[in-house]
Amino acid sequence: MSDDKTKSTSIKFSPKCDSAEISRVALASILRIHKIDPAVVSELAISMQQKLNELSVSGSWIEIEFQTFENRISAEIRADNDSVSIGANW
């Protein structure tokens, strides 16, 4: 059992939108709210953008669910029938 408190934030948008901008703004907001050093999760941002690019090619919608824990952040990226989870620890 973990003592971590989980907080979740989701965004859903059309792949026709600029997914790079949407994901960067969402991640930056979450990092500020939870006071997470952006340098710690830079690999998460890069991985997230790569996955968004792959999924947006064939999807009709994209959803990203961010979950923050005491020492971890994860992002589950969903598009139509596809899903991938990525995360970062500090």
Average pLDDT over residues 48-74: 84
- Which two tokens mark 75? 């992002």
Rounded to an integer, the average pLDDT of 5-30 is: 79
- CA distances to 21, 80, 89 from 61, rounded to whole Å, are 16, 6, 28
What pLDDT, on the 0 to 100 scale, is given for residue 1?
34
Q: Is the pLDDT of residue 2 over 50?
A: no
Domain ranges for the chain: 7-89
0.75 surpassed by pTM: yes
> Higher model confidence: residue 57 or residue 7?
7
pLDDT score of 86:
93
Cα(65)–Cα(1) distance, rounded to whole angstroms?
A: 22
CATH number of the structural domain 7-89: 3.30.565.10
DSSP 31: H
